[in-house]
Amino acid sequence: MSGFSREEARFFDVAHEGAQIRAVGQAAHSLSGLTGLRPRSVVVLPTDHVAAAAARAVVTLVGELEVPVVITDVLPAYVGPLDVVVVVGDNAGRDDALRGLITAAGRGAETVLAGPDRGPLLDDAPQATTVIPALPNTAGASPLRSGAVLGAILALPRQPAEVVAERFELLASEADAELELASPQRDAATNPARQLRAQADGARVVHTGLGRGGSAAAGVAAALWSTHGIPSGVVDADELAQAIERAQQANPAGPADDIFYDPYLDGPSELVGLTTVVWSCETTVPVVQAGSRVETAETDSADAAARAARLVARAYAATALDADAADSAATDE
């Protein structure tokens, strides 16, 4: 076999997630106009499902916000000179986001674009818009980049760019460490992302999270998996037991012993099983309902954002890996 394996090719964008965070930190100086600013609101216009989930995750993780954050597809009518409008995501052709950016800049709002490295969104952005450059040669969605951009915008009014860059270097190092564990070269014995992918293979998946960090990671994981062809949903931890109960009621054991049962007339005897994945940024492994898989960050850091970054990196890595490493090897030979 020559060149990259199938898994390695899919893993290319995933492997850059640490670099994506680092690049945002290094570009924080370009947002120095936000330092000391007390905006009326920060309006986020995501260009895709993953970017929207990443923005919601940051809001969840921060908890008590010093400024309202509005995540929307359409620019609010009130936006003006007192507001910050940021477009995040990797869909280069999102016309609504471009129109919102142009309108916001025309009204005197501070505007920021963290989009793809080419396309009409970048080409036609207003001159007054601060552009955070995308990494070259990456094409897929970057949840950690989208989250980092919003995190920087929320931090810069009260922290200098140098402090933000230093903090993002820490987060990037944690993501890099997680992605090293998730490398396609590692089998399921030492690869937590591959273990996770194997458990979800062929199942209906429900993600949930414990605490703000876990909830943030769960929402991004569900968005990533669904957009990468692994159907999944997300539910609050308080509603998980009820969701499982309803799934079991809707999926009773099939009439395997019924001599009158006809699969062509009566349909499948049993639906696909349900797998629940519980994401947690706690420093101790939580006790959860039997049958649920718990994902915790394997790090000594007690920083909730750092632990969440690792979990998001793991969730993203799982989308690039085969459930069985042997499957990939057999296909690529």
Domain-located, residue 150: yes
Instruction: Give the model confidence (pLDDT) of 81-112 as tens digits.
Output: 999 999 999 888 889 999 999 999 999 999 99
CA 31/CA 111 separation, integer angstroms? 10
pLDDT at 257: 45
Assign residue 197 the CATH number of its domain: 3.40.50.10490
Q: How far is CA 80 from the centre of its chain?
A: 29
Domain-located, residue 1: no
pLDDT at 117: 87
Domain-located, residue 88: yes
How many domains does the structure of the chain reveal?
Answer: 2
DSSP state, 189?
Answer: T
Whole-angstrom CA distances from 14 to 189, 211, 281 are 21, 25, 21
Kindly state whether residues 168 and 183 are assigned to the same domain: no
pTM above 0.85, yes or no: yes
Kindly state whether residues 19 and 168 are assigned to the same domain: yes
Q: Does position 29 have pLDDT exceeding 70, yes or no?
A: yes
pLDDT at 269: 46
Q: Which two tokens stand for residue 237?
A: 């931890």
Instruction: Give the model confidence (pLDDT) of 289-301 as tens digits.
Output: 666 889 999 899 9
Q: Are 244 and 274 in contact (CB under 8 A)?
A: yes
Kindly state whether residues 141 and 260 are assigned to the same domain: no
Q: Does position 79 have pLDDT exceeding 80, yes or no?
A: yes
First and final CA of the chain: distance in angstroms?
Answer: 6
Kindly state whether residues 111 and 190 are assigned to the same domain: no
Radius of gyration, CA atoms only, the chain: 21
Instruction: Give the model confidence (pLDDT) of 44-74 as tens digits.
Output: 999 999 999 999 999 999 988 999 999 999 9
Instruction: Give the model confidence (pLDDT) of 199-256 as tens digits.
Output: 888 888 999 999 999 999 999 999 999 999 998 999 998 888 887 777 766 665 444 4
Domain-located, residue 283: yes
pLDDT at 261: 47
Region 115-124: mean pLDDT is 90
Instruction: Give the model confidence (pLDDT) of 164-198 as tens digits.
Output: 999 999 999 999 999 999 999 999 999 999 999 99
What is the span of the domain harbouring residue 122?
6-173
CA 164/CA 253 separation, integer angstroms? 54
